[in-house]
Amino acid sequence: MIFSIVIFIITLLILVLVHEFGHFIMAKKFGIKVLEFGFGLPPRVWGKKIGETLFSLNLLPLGGFVKLLGEDDLPAGKQEADKKVLNDSRSFAKAKVEKRIVTVLAGVVMNLLLAWVLFYFVIIQQGFRIIYPTADPGVFIARTETGFPAQTAGVKIGDRLLTINGKKVDDVEEAVAEIKGANGQPLRLELADLEGNFKRVISLTPKENTKGEKLIGVVFSPVGFKVYETFWERIFSGVTYSYDLTRLTFVGLGRLLADAITGNFEKASASVSGPVGLARVTNNILSAGVEAVIPYLWFSGVISLTLAIFNVLPIPALDGGRLFFLVIEAVTRKKVHVEIERMIHNVGFALLIALSLLVALSDIRKQFP
């Protein structure tokens, strides 16, 4: 477990540093002064100034940060030093609003690009096939066997099994039991796509194998799989897969909010995880040894994509919150009052910390039901 925790911390550090590098590189491009690029979060353990930027190593290994000159506007007239920062030609506050927007968005873009790269690598390594989380649980076709009725009848990897002979099946064990219970008699399978759409019904008769078992020749899975078959599907697979996961993320967020609003806090708590829960998932994946490399790269891609999604949401204290005020400025050509924006970000930050603690406590409670 200790090894898994270390790997997870290193992974999270890399993903956040990739995000911060996006801010760093665009700030440099636009001539905005970068005061510090921090590895981990303060307090500072070590630092070395290279050029005008302090590169620091900090005690808490939970990501990193980039500190830009004038990034947090100071009220004019507070101090003479504050005025100098606000009026410095290389201050973030003095840069054109378009450049500030690009600098803020750069971190999100870097996480998105990293997710694409990881997903492309996993998809190619697995023969253009990849796990496909769905909004609702179900029974999916993970593999079809050559020479057996299912493949001949047109059953495909990624199909969702809805019913057998008109009876709804909710899990893999139930599906296997229904097929065995038919004792070789003809079966009617109702299938759909991964999301349960485009339904169709096929008929087939189980075939006896060398052991005398009557099988249809499929391997069921509680998780869906997506196969990219055509040339263009494969070319854009990393991008379209990211889009699919993003759409599913927003579906999940909608359900989470609905549960929270209706007071179903237990269900809402069960559907979210923080660092503690993710560390546990890491341990489960890495327990497979060498075979865990590809699944863990997929998992890292999911985390990177999730960081991109949540950072771009208009939540105070996150990139999306800063972007919200910059868009207002770009449209109205007027800045939101400094103190108002600062107060909103401070309140948002406090709420995020509180929410993070609640999620962490929920994750810990799940370990000791």
Q: At what angle do helices 237-261 and 97-125 cross, to 10 degrees?
A: 110
pLDDT at 82: 55
Residue 366 pLDDT > 70:
no
* Confidence band, pLDDT 50/70/90 cuts, at residue 77: very low
The CATH class for the domain spanning 140-227 reads mainly beta
pLDDT at 350: 84
Mean of the per-residue pLDDT values of the chain: 86
51: left (phi over 0), alpha (psi -120 to 50) or beta: left
* Confidence band, pLDDT 50/70/90 cuts, at residue 76: very low
pLDDT at 83: 56
Q: Is the peptide bond before 137 cis (omega within 30 degrees of 0)?
A: no
**Cα(48)–Cα(55) distance, integer angstroms:** 5
**Cα(288)–Cα(296) distance, integer angstroms:** 10
**Three-state SS letters, the chain:** CHHHHHHHHHHHHHHHHHHHHHHHHHHHHCCCCEEEEEEEEEEEEEEEEECCEEEEEEEEEEEEEEEECCCCCCCCCCCHHHHHHHHCCCCHHHCCHHHHHHHHHHHHHHHHHHHHHHHHHHHHHCCCEEEECCCCCCEEEEEECCCCHHHHHCCCCCCEEEEECCEECCCHHHHHHHHHHCCCCCEEEEEECCCCCCCEEEEECCEECCCCCEECCEEEECCEEEECCCHHHHHCHHHHHHHHHHHHHHHHHHHHHHHHHCCCHHHHHHCCCCHHHHHHHHHHHHCCHHHHHHHHHHHHHHHHHHHHHHHHCCCCCCHHHHHHHHHHHHHHCCCCCHHHHHHHHHHHHHHHHHHHHHHHHHHHHHHCC
pLDDT at 41: 76
Residue 142 pLDDT > 80:
yes
pLDDT at 62: 66
Using CB atoms within 10 Å of the CB of residue 323, give its burial: 0 to 12 exposed, 13 to 18 middle, 19+ buried: buried
**Cα(167)–Cα(175) distance, integer angstroms:** 10
Q: At what angle do helices 293-312 and 237-261 cross, to 10 degrees?
A: 60
Mean pLDDT to the nearest integer, 87-102: 88
How many residues belong to the chain? 369
Here the tokens at position 314 are 């208009």
Residue 81 pLDDT > 60:
no
pLDDT at 259: 76
Residue 5: what residue type?
I
Residue 25 pLDDT > 80:
yes
pLDDT in tens, 249-298: 888 888 878 877 887 767 666 666 777 777 778 888 888 787 889 999 99
What is the pTM assigned to this prediction?
0.83
Question: Could you tell me what percent of the chain has a pLDDT over 70?
Answer: 90
- The count of C-alpha atoms lying within 13 angstroms of the C-alpha of 121, restricted to the half-sphere facing its C-beta, is 15
Q: Residue 66 — φ and ψ, nearest 5°?
A: -125, 125
Strand 218-221 with 129-132, pairing: unpaired
Please report, in angstroms and rounded to a whole number, the separation of the first and last CA atoms in the chain: 19
Q: Which of 71-75, 160-164, 198-202, 364-368 has the lowest mean pLDDT?
A: 71-75
Q: Which of 81-85, 120-124, 248-252 has the lowest mean pLDDT?
A: 81-85
Here the tokens at position 255 are 């359900």
Chain centre distance of CA 330: 29
What residue ranges of the chain are covered by domains with CATH 2.30.42.10?
A: 140-227
pLDDT at 32: 93
